[in-house]
Chain A
Amino acid sequence: MGRTLAQKVLERTSGRTGLAPGTIVEATPDFSYSHDYAAWAIDAFEKMGATRVHRPERIAVCFDHGIPPNSARDANSLKRVRDFVKKHGFAQFYEAGTGVAHQVMVEQGWIVPGSLSICNDSHACSGGSVGALALAVGETEIGFLWAIDRLWFRVPVTRKMVLHGRLRPGVYAKDLMLVIAKQLGVLGALYEILEFHGEGVKTLSVSERFTLCNMATEVGAKGGVFPHDEVTAKFMAGRAKFAFEPVHSDPDAEFVAEMHFDLDTLEPMVALPGREDYGVPVSEVAGQHIDQVFIGSCTNARADDLAIAANILRGRKVHPGIRLIVTPASRQAELDALRSGDMEALVEAGAILMPSGCGVCAGTHQGVSADGERCLSTSNRNMPGRMGNVKSEILLCSPATAAASAIAGCIADPREAA
């Protein structure tokens, strides 16, 4: 019986062979990273009585969640992490403003094809965009990993996601993801790896693959992965921090299920408030009231996303009834958008530019909506209260739909705005 990519990576990192799905193994990741919440990992590390961090050359930290800090308490917590990172000689520390950790680690080449990458954040799965098995754990587990150098994992089953054709103008990876979420439901792929195949994958950039892998967790999956191909190879060239060996599922590997998507037939989608699987075609909700538009988060705020939004907003104005908040996923994305003139177009149209990081996404840091208001967001989660006010609502969409709607002052079809 052939083995899947996930099985192979877990066999190599656990030193075991013949791992059947469901087996619990203890594995040593190739790389791990953390963000502001490393403070909890430090707590755990110290409470365990640990003194030495294992393989600090394979660990990075990037501040993103609550930056620049809102309070003395948060500032002190960040300082504690900074001091710890320095003391233990971590491979890399990215100060506040570098970007969202998931984006930064892929962008800077820390996550490489075929590797096991770990982070204490549910969107760690984003690393699958470059062919890694990228898994999320808790904060205490990061402290445990530093101290003990291994973590337990359940060997997952893999679901084959076969993409056909090519997305039409105005339709993006996010729309595909909202269709996937609608079909699977919020726990529909529980404990599974979503592995993307089919000739359609060649048409998707690493950034678009990132959007899809990022939201694998929104269908309960353990991760998503685009196996290494020419697109990955080109992206990794001159970027990879470590030597790597791409890993692929065997041709006779067993998949738990297979789903097919015709990219040509997809339409722009909007996920209605409350759950990520409440997607509907934009045509069904066009004209509906919104108060705020957020183009940001690790899901959809890279240079290509900002360019898509800028191309719609250029020379136009954000509707007076709308606040448009733009938070680039990383400083690099922000620089690219500045140099290309896309950022100028966004700001001129009336966007509020926020420092690169998580910002508005998790509701910890500015941009909270009022009671009864609705925020249309390019982020990944819309459950009640996610953005800081349980009495406001969140809808999810692509950067194109977000930009078109910011101009219209209500939900709008991006294909009509171009």
Chain B
Amino acid sequence: MPIAPIEGTAAVFGDHVSADSVLPARHSFLPPEQMAEQVLMDVGPEANRKVRTHAVIVAGEAFGYGTGRESPSRALRAAGVRAVIARSFSRLFFRNALNNGIVVIQCPALAAMPVQDGDPITVSLDEGRVHWKGQSFDFPPMSGVVSEIVEAGNLINYGRALLAKAAAGNGA
């Protein structure tokens, strides 16, 4: 099943934005709307405004490194972020973002370009390509269970479908 491309505008960040600064631990249990109000406030109000207006984060090295808490990813999703493209990621941010419906794309070639806040960006998961200003950049396609989670939208949807399938199997 093809996955619809993600279209949005860019919120640009530099290197080493830690998951703790995306959302500090003390905000872990806030309801989603309040998380969205707090997301990236440790970096500054401008950073917060940016991710609430632009759905595609473009960052440098190690975006979301550090804590394995999932709330930073939840907060980004609550703020409307749909994709994060960066030079590199920590493995836990990769998992957590993906499981919460944010597509995570390692694409050093795009991360090296002079992308500006608000630039339109399209992520085509089926092609494994990011489009920006008429140029395109390849990234390694997702496979197996990882792409199934992305297709399902998030891990909860994926789990629900698996359970439903198992229940139907048992009933037959």
Which residues of A pack against B, CB within 8 Å? 24, 26, 37, 39-40, 44, 47-50, 65, 73-74, 77, 120-124, 136-141, 143-144, 147-148, 152, 154, 186-187, 190-191, 217, 220, 222, 275, 362-364, 381, 383-386, 388, 390
A-B contact list, 14 entries, CB within 8 Å: A44-B159, A50-B159, A73-B29, A122-B66, A138-B92, A141-B155, A148-B162, A152-B146, A186-B16, A186-B65, A190-B88, A362-B25, A383-B16, A385-B42
A68 to B100 Cα, complex, angstroms: 29
Question: B69: CB under 8 A from chain A?
Answer: yes
Interface: B9 (CB within 8 A): no
Instruction: Kindly identify, within residues 37 to 93 of chain B, every residue whose CB is under 8 Å from any CB belonging to chain A.
Output: 42, 61-62, 65-71, 73, 88, 90-92
Q: Which 9 pairs between the two chains have the least Cβ-Cβ distance?
A: A122-B68, A48-B159, A383-B18, A138-B96, A362-B25, A390-B42, A138-B70, A385-B42, A364-B25
Within 8 A of A (CB), among B141-172: 143-146, 154-156, 159-160, 162-164
**Does A139 contact B70, Cβ atoms closer than 8 Å?**
yes
Pick from B21, B42, B62, B70: contact of A187, CB below 8 A: B62
Cβ contact within 8 Å between A190 and B90: yes
CB <8 Å contact, A140 and B18: no
Q: Report the separation of the CA atoms of residues A154 and B100 in the bound assembly, to the nearest whole angstrom.
A: 19
Is B99 a contact of A122 with CB atoms below 8 Å? Answer: no
Indicate whether B133 reaches chain A with its CB closer than 8 angstroms.
no
B163/A140 in contact, CB under 8 A: no
Whether A47 lies near B160 (C-beta < 8 A) is: yes
A-B contact count (CB 8 A): 130
Report the bound CA distance from A185 to B114 in whole Å.
25
CB–CB B29/A74 < 8 A: yes
CA distance A204 to B172 in the complex (A): 57
Q: A24-B143, A148-B162, A384-B21 are in contact. Are A140 and B65 (CB under 8 A)?
A: no
User: Would you call B62 and A186 a contact (CB within 8 A)?
Assistant: yes
Residue among A49, A143, A191, A388 making CB contact with B91, cutoff 8 Å: A191
In the complex the two chains form, is A122's CB within 8 Å of B67's CB? yes
Taking the closest CB of chain B, its distance from the CB of A75, in whole angstroms, is 11
- B159–A364 CB distance below 8 A: no
Query: A390: which B residues are within 8 A, CB to CB?
Result: 21, 24, 42
Known: A24-B143, A222-B91. A384 touches B159 (CB 8 A): no
Assuming A24-B145, A385-B24, is B159 touching A144 (CB within 8 A)? Answer: yes
How far does the Cβ of B34 sit from chain A's closest Cβ, in whole Å?
12
B124 in the interface (beta carbon within 8 A): no
In the complex the two chains form, is B68's CB within 8 Å of A141's CB? no
Q: A26 and B145: CB pair below 8 A?
A: yes
Q: How far is the CA of A17 from the CA of B69 in the complex (A)?
A: 32
Tell me, rounded to whole Å, the shortest Cβ–Cβ distance linking A157 to chain B: 13
* Alpha-carbon distance A40/B30, docked complex (angstroms): 12
Chain B residues with CB under 8 Å of A363's CB are 24-26
Contacts of A191 in B (CB 8 A): 91
Q: How far is the CA of A270 from the CA of B73 in the complex (A)?
A: 31
Query: Which residues of B sit under 8 angstroms from A49, Cβ to Cβ?
Result: 160, 163-164
Chain A neighbourhood of B67, CB < 8 A: 122, 362, 381
Tell yes or no: B131 within 8 A of A by CB: no
Contacts of A47 in B (CB 8 A): 156, 160
* Minimum CB–CB distance for B139 against chain A, Å: 15
Q: In the complex the two chains form, is A138's CB within 8 Å of B99's CB?
A: yes
Q: How far is the CA of A152 from the CA of B143 in the complex (A)?
A: 12
* A40-B70, A48-B159, A48-B163 known, 14 other contacts, Cβ within 8 Å: A24-B146, A49-B160, A73-B29, A77-B29, A122-B68, A137-B92, A140-B154, A186-B62, A220-B65, A381-B67, A383-B16, A384-B18, A384-B42, A388-B24
CB distance from A119 to the nearest CB of B (A): 9
- A138 CA / B92 CA spacing, docked (Å): 7
Q: Say which residue of B61, B92, B154, B155 sits within 8 Å of A122 (CB atoms).
A: B92
Which residues from B are CB-within-8-Å of A39? 29
Give Cα A50–Cα B159 distance, bound, in whole angstroms. 9
- The closest CB in chain B to the CB of A70 belongs to B26
Among candidates B28, B71, B95, residue contacting A141 with C-beta atoms closer than 8 Å: B95
Closest residue to B144 on the A side, CB-wise?
A24
Question: Chain A residues with Cβ under 8 A from B90's Cβ?
Answer: 187, 190, 220
* Residue from A49, A140, A143 with most neighbouring chain B CB atoms (10 Å): A140
Q: Which residues in A have their C-beta under 8 angstroms from that of B29?
A: 39, 73-74, 77
Q: Is the CB of B156 within 8 A of A48?
A: yes
Residues of B within 8 A of A383 (CB): 16, 18, 20-21, 66
Q: Within the complex, what minimum Cβ distance (angstroms) separates A162 from chain B?
A: 24
Give the docked Cα–Cα distance between A127 and B39 (Å): 31
Q: In the complex, which of the residues A120, A136, A140 contacts B100, with contact meaning CB atoms closer than 8 Å?
A: A140
Distance A124 CA – B91 CA, assembled complex (angstroms): 13
Q: How far is the CB of A391 from chain B (nearest CB, A)?
A: 10
Asked whether, in the complex, the Cβ of A275 is within 8 Å of the Cβ of B16, the reply is: yes
